[in-house]
Structure 1
Amino acid sequence: MRFLIRSLPVALAASTVLLVGPAGAQIAPGGGPVAWGADRTEYVEAQGLLKLIGRAELIQAENRLRADAIDMFTTPARNGSGGGDVREVVATGNVYFVTPTQVVRGDRAVYTAASDTIVVTGDVILTQGENVMTGSRLTVVVATNNAVMDGAPSSAGQRVRGVFYPDE
């Protein structure tokens, strides 16, 4: 089975969130093997589903995806054994994606291969160095590097908030 998802590194720039990733489904630039771990795993062959439960994590190069649980849905394998390509990854509960320079935190993250889209929801916090942006939903179209952060409810309505420190 191949368990690779598109790179998720997030950079904060002014009031725009950019996603930078290589071609191909990876969680780290340059690809390479993906290590995974969890307190428990389940495989549901009829659904092409590998469940990582409890302290679930995917690691590739210096990038790490952690959550309380990660479900990886695959397409049927061409040779009839195991799963094929990843079609969707769903990370739930205390979701963190960490690269050497960025951290994304949310309550749930979904990568859908067919639309090449990543959606992080809940209490979304993006950091790069001292720069911080918060909202309730981050949607990224990976192929175009276009991203939208929707605001969290507040007394002033839906607001995206950020603090940016310019280079000196």
Structure 2
Amino acid sequence: MRRLSFVPALAFCTTALCLSPSVARGQGLDMSHGEQVHISSAGPQTYDQNARTITFADRARAVRGNVTIDADQLIGFLRKKAPAPGASTGETGTGETGSGKTDTDTTGAANGDSSMGGSMELYRMEAIGHVHIYTDTDQAWGDKALYDIDQSTLVMTGKHLRLTTPQDVMTARDVMEYHAQTHMSVGRGDATVTTNDGKRIKADVLVAISKPDSAPAGAGKTDTNDGNARSSKLDRAYAWGHVLLRTPNETATGDRGVYVFDTQMARLIGHVHVTSGQNQNNGASAIVNMKTGIAIMNPAPGQRIEGLVIPNEAGSSKPGAVKR
């Protein structure tokens, strides 16, 4: 067995690859912070010296803190670790790091095989086939996934893309992205967000922004360095193309829009239609309170607002009311 020494502490053995970075708080499906990354598989591992990749086949799994990636195949991308400030740049079998710790390369740098050893780090992971990424609270599914550790960005493709939290579900046809640093989830292609209380947002492209990690009510202040992922609550969503907002009482459509979840206020622009029961109002733009049903409708220049009002419809005095 060849043993490789990487920085930070990549231990390569017959069944697993381990990465030991500094400890920081995890967030959602973020694998850029936390404890060791432990990658394993039921099948063989292949190291590509030229591409600097290591492939784990057959029921592969990567675990870091509270985040797990399961897939048919996992590929880890390696690069040379930048030397710590003040550290020697010479490549030898044994060298001191900037932290004072010693990195040992048993592959034999004297033989010129420095690309197999030395100071290396894992900076990207690719998952292929039946991809399932999950924490205690959040889950994501797809056919392929690419995780950029530097940018804390997850990009998933394939059929039946799905991202779930305890509060909501996002689906998309083409691409789904999760940007941990900006608390942003993106769905591309017939994207939909559905919340547990019956709200639904649909568009060609959806960008959902979450609030910072939320602890359960009464839990008190949480430890920001516990390494565990916590679910986030949606703050707002931006939508482009064939936008549809739906609650149990209201439906609003437009070309583009933004929705704030706490206030249940929406702003729609372009070919706006607001429907409550059989009542409908049309305009160029609108600000809609999806909770009360009151909409402020604006016409296009030189045009008029159009509406269809059914007399004596139950509840028509509240939902569907329009201010012009």
TM-score, scaled relative to structure 2? 0.39
Structure 1 residues not aligned, in runs of 5+: 11-20, 152-158
Contact between 2:74 and 2:126, CA under 8 Å: does it hold in 1?
A: yes
Provide the rounded CA distance (Å) in 2 between the counterparts of 1:4 and 1:93: 27
Q: What is the CA-CA distance between 1:37 and the residue it aligns to?
A: 1.2
Aligned to 2:165: 128
Which digits, 9 at most, give the CA deviation of each residue in 1:61-92, with x for residues without a partner?
Answer: 33211111011111025654156122321111
Identity in percent: 21
Q: What is the CA-CA distance between 1:149 and the residue it aligns to?
A: 0.8
Provide the rounded CA distance (Å) in 2 between the counterparts of 1:82 and 1:125: 39
Provide the rounded CA distance (Å) in 1 between the counterparts of 2:143 and 2:28: 17
Aligned to 1:36: 39
Q: Match of 2:78, SS?
A: strand
Q: Match of 1:149, SS?
A: strand
Provide the rounded CA distance (Å) in 2 between the counterparts of 1:163 and 1:25: 28
1:66–1:134: structure 2 CA closer, same or farther, 3 Å change rule? same
Q: Match of 2:50, SS?
A: helix
For the pair shown, which has the larger CA radius of gyration, 1 or 2?
Answer: 2
Within the alignment, does 1:147 sit opposite 2:185 as a pair? yes
Q: What is the CA-CA distance between 1:138 and the residue it aligns to?
A: 1.3
Q: What is the CA-CA distance between 1:146 and the residue it aligns to?
A: 3.0
Within the alignment, does 1:9 sit opposite 2:28 as a pair? yes
Provide the rounded CA distance (Å) in 2 between the counterparts of 1:8 and 1:66: 18
Contact between 1:68 and 1:91, CA under 8 Å: does it hold in 2?
A: yes
1:82–1:8: structure 2 CA closer, same or farther, 3 Å change rule? farther
TM-score, scaled relative to structure 1? 0.71
Provide the rounded CA distance (Å) in 2 between the counterparts of 1:165 and 1:54: 36
Provide the rounded CA distance (Å) in 1 between the counterparts of 2:51 and 2:68: 25
1:4–1:103: structure 2 CA closer, same or farther, 3 Å change rule? farther
Aligned to 1:155: none
User: 57, 61, 66: which is aligned to 1:57?
Assistant: 61
Provide the rounded CA distance (Å) in 1 between the counterparts of 2:119 and 2:75: 13
Aligned to 1:160: 191
- Give the residue type in structure 1 aligned to 2:181: A
Q: What is the CA-CA distance between 1:118 and the residue it aligns to?
A: 2.0
1:112–1:4: structure 2 CA closer, same or farther, 3 Å change rule? farther
- Give the residue type in structure 1 aligned to 2:164: T
Q: What is the CA-CA distance between 1:145 and the residue it aligns to?
A: 2.7
Within the alignment, does 1:118 sit opposite 2:154 as a pair? yes
Contact between 1:4 and 1:25, CA under 8 Å: does it hold in 2?
A: no
Provide the rounded CA distance (Å) in 2 between the counterparts of 1:114 and 1:33: 16
Q: What is the CA-CA distance between 1:133 and the residue it aligns to?
A: 1.8
Provide the rounded CA distance (Å) in 2 between the counterparts of 1:61 and 1:113: 14
Provide the rounded CA distance (Å) in 2 between the counterparts of 1:117 and 1:160: 19
Contact between 1:88 and 1:113, CA under 8 Å: does it hold in 2?
A: yes
Structure 2 residues not aligned, in runs of 5+: 1-5, 11-18, 84-90, 92-113, 199-324
Contact between 2:28 and 2:180, CA under 8 Å: does it hold in 1?
A: no
Q: What is the CA-CA distance between 1:116 and the residue it aligns to?
A: 4.6
Q: Match of 1:47, SS?
A: coil
Alignment length, in residue pairs?
A: 144
Contact between 2:32 and 2:150, CA under 8 Å: does it hold in 1?
A: no
Provide the rounded CA distance (Å) in 2 between the counterparts of 1:97 and 1:83: 29
- Give the residue type in structure 2 aligned to 1:73: F
User: 25, 29, 32: which is aligned to 2:32?
Assistant: 25
Within the alignment, does 1:90 sit opposite 2:126 as a pair? yes
Aligned to 1:99: 135
Report the more deviating stretch, 72-81 or 35-44. 72-81
Provide the rounded CA distance (Å) in 1 between the counterparts of 2:165 and 2:171: 12
Provide the rounded CA distance (Å) in 1 between the counterparts of 2:134 and 2:119: 27
